[in-house]
Amino acid sequence: RHNSAPFDGQKEGVDLTGGYYDAGDYMKFTYPLSWTLTSISWGGLEWFEGYELSGQTQYLHDMVKWGTDWLIKAYSLETNDLYVQVGREDVDHNYWGGDLNIPLPRDAYKVGEKNHGTDVASSVVAAFASASILFREKFSDSTYSDDLLLRAKALYVFAETKAWKLYGASLPQVNSLYPSSNYQDKLVWAALWLYKATGEEIYFNKAINYYTQFFIPDSIIAINWSDQTCAIYFLLVQITKGNELSYKLQAEKYLDYMLNPSLVPKSPCSYTPGGLLWCNGISDTNSLNVPLNIAFVSLLYAPYATTTEKRSKYMEFAQSQIKYVLGENPMKMTYVVGINPKSPKNPHHAGAHGSTTNNMLLPIESTNILYGAVVGGPSKKDLYIDDRTKYNSTEVALDYNAPWQGLMAYQVIYYKTKIPEKSTPGDGGDNDNDNEQSDDEQNENKDGKSKIAESNVKSGGMITSRIGGIIGIAIGSLLLVLLGASLIWKRSMIVAWFKRDRKKRDIEFNIENNVTSRPSSFISHISRPNSVVVPISSVVVPISRSNSVAVPNSRPNSAISGSNSRPNSGAGVEKTLLFNGFENNLKYDSVSYLAVLSSSSPNTEFTIPGSL
């Protein structure tokens, strides 16, 4: 890897190198990044054992710290300036190439004392506070934890400063990219994480006061980067350790609503034919966002459920959504890049594609595998087209890859308890994993062998008996051969008689019924529908988009609160895209690109584990 975007922030006199590119392009956004880091830290705290069992703890540490290090750069303790965006939409979205030639200018935008952003500031507070708990409790790094907590407290003072204001009102540039729907939920969200990190009652009291003031109870809103209203319910349950029934009932009301849309009048949510949770107006873009976040909080809450039935129901729902993503869906494909022959081959991601001509269509297939990245997801009919120009379904982004990390950590723990321990690979060579048996299986085999040995000992004269048996079998076989020869001779005589008699009867039948031709084959009368699976190496798919390599086009905001809109990170052309068929002639690419999203910093190489 080489340096990428080494001049970010230089024009503004601040170092904004490093951090994460948000999705398929090269812009940086503080708002969704903050939710991403909070989600990953939350999952890391809850299911750290999964990271340990899979040997991923250092990756977790580096993944979170790479993001919080950048947030530290983006926020000034002295001035309360908070940089929220790097890159210009009109410039970035007209470029589709590698990360070494990102076009300039790379303007940076900030909120501060003169242009408030209550929502984005509160979101960063939650990221700082949740990460500080992770580094203190799981990595024993009190120094770094204290630094994050210091910044979280200071920034919350700024966030609470009135007049409260959406950051989009101060910076119109963000409204076509990552607009905010409200700041009320963020003030509660940030205060709760500060209380969880410090134990100071003042923050819990603030959170509850805002919680009541803003009428947050009874809200039913999708959980994502834009809105954490309903995530608050689950954090409250954890903070109170399940001892406050009202919070538990609120959490269950939300889950029961989301998981049982057919029982809710006029619910915008439903399940696709294949079983994926879908909410109209928000699932139209990046459909996996909603189910992954709901699965995440379902597993967080399940241990606190008021009944065992509810507990099982929440866990089963989460498993169904995880399994859908991993291949139990009508397309029979996994929506995680690089882990299966049927993984998406062409995610909407400029770095992975590797174009050198600013053309989203060339090369036809991505140069690099974006290993472990979750793509946007299928349509409401469970259909997915592996076409990188369809960013609504094929783009990868930080925010919905974040809950996937926690879900995979949970799965490692889950399968450890559900599947018997495997014996340690030893003398079996490269095939040990395929041939190894559980201890129970080995004991059964040993018991079986002991019983056979005991039987052999008790039946003395075994060799003599076997010899006698062999002689008997030989004599019997000879008699069968002689009998068979006799039957074959008799059969030939019978067949000859039937052929002669049948020929006579056929002639008589044809004369009587005037039959002169053979009827058409039964099979020829079967009308077959067009084949669903085309066994060819490629399929040509028309792409109806403007005839331009890069046309800036901001995505519409979702009509539903809890918008899932994100920047349009590229454009298509009115041509055709050639991509691999699913059944035959699959091409296998070597894993050569490990980062879920590009990182940028002078002389720095950094990778992210896309999944465990």
Mean local confidence (pLDDT), 293-306: 98
- Identify the active-site residue in 46, 119, 284, 395: 395
Name residues whose C-beta falls within 8 Å of residue 510's C-beta, 6 or more positions apart in sequence. 516
Does the CA dihedral 203-206-212-213 come out positive or negative? negative
Q: What span, in angstroms and rounded, lies between the C-alpha atoms of 386 and 353?
A: 13
Judge whether 577 and 305 are in contact, CB under 8 Å: no
Hey, where are the domains in the chain? 28-221+340-420+552-580
More confident position, 476 or 67: 67
Number of Cβ atoms within 10 Å of the Cβ of 100: 11
Number of Cβ atoms within 10 Å of the Cβ of 600: 24
pLDDT at 193 over 80: yes
pLDDT at 459 over 90: no
pLDDT score, position 420: 55
**Residue 561 banded pLDDT, cuts 50, 70, 90:** very low
CATH of 28-221+340-420+552-580, picked from 2.40.30.10, 3.40.720.10, 1.50.10.10, 3.40.50.1820, is 1.50.10.10
Q: Is 46 a catalytic residue?
A: no
Tell me how many degrees the CA angle 409-413-415 measures, rounded to the nearest 5.
115
Mean local confidence (pLDDT), 3-12: 94
Name residues whose C-beta falls within 8 Å of residue 467's C-beta, 6 or more positions apart in sequence. none
What is the end-to-end Cα distance of the chain in Å, rounded?
A: 23
pLDDT at 277 over 80: yes
- β-pair type (269-271, 277-279): antiparallel
Residue 124's closest CA among 241, 250, 19, 233?
Answer: 19
Q: What span, in angstroms and rounded, lies between the C-alpha atoms of 247 and 306?
A: 11
Mean local confidence (pLDDT), 504-511: 40
- Identify the active-site residue in 81, 92, 382, 386: 386
DSSP helix/strand/coil, 352: helix
Q: What span, in angstroms and rounded, lies between the C-alpha atoms of 264 and 255?
A: 12
pLDDT score, position 464: 41
Indicate yes or no: pTM above 0.85: no
Mean local confidence (pLDDT), 498-512: 41
pLDDT at 444 over 60: no
Mean local confidence (pLDDT), 335-348: 97
305-309, 461-465, 590-594: least confident range: 590-594
Judge whether 179 and 555 are in contact, CB under 8 Å: no
DSSP 305-346: -SSHHHHHHHHHHHHHHHHHHTT-STT---SBTTSSTTS-S-
Does the CA dihedral 447-449-452-453 come out positive or negative? negative
- β-pair type (28-29, 82-86): antiparallel
pLDDT at 148 over 90: yes
In this structure, the dihedral spanned by the alpha carbons of residues 14, 15, 20 and 23, taken in order and rounded to 10 degrees, is 40
Q: Where does 346-461 have alpha helices with state H?
A: 350-353, 391-394, 398-418, 432-435, 439-458
Number of Cβ atoms within 10 Å of the Cβ of 210: 21
Name residues whose C-beta falls within 8 Å of residue 276's C-beta, 6 or more positions apart in sequence. 287, 288, 291, 321, 324, 329, 377, 378, 382
Q: Residue type for 227, please? A: D
Q: Which tokens belong to 578?
A: 């050639």
**Residue 419 banded pLDDT, cuts 50, 70, 90:** low
CA–chain centroid gap for 535, Å, is 28
Judge whether 377 and 14 are in contact, CB under 8 Å: no
Tell me how many degrees the CA angle 8-12-14 measures, rounded to the nearest 5.
65
**Residue 417 banded pLDDT, cuts 50, 70, 90:** confident
Q: What span, in angstroms and rounded, lies between the C-alpha atoms of 133 and 84?
A: 24
Q: Is 52 a catalytic residue?
A: no
| pLDDT 10s digits, 362-414 | 999 999 999 999 999 999 999 999 999 999 999 999 999 999 999 999 999 99
| pLDDT 10s digits, 24-47 | 999 999 999 999 999 999 999 999
Tell me how many degrees the CA angle 485-491-494 measures, rounded to the nearest 5.
150
What SS3 string covers 92-107?
HCCCCCCCCCCCCCCC
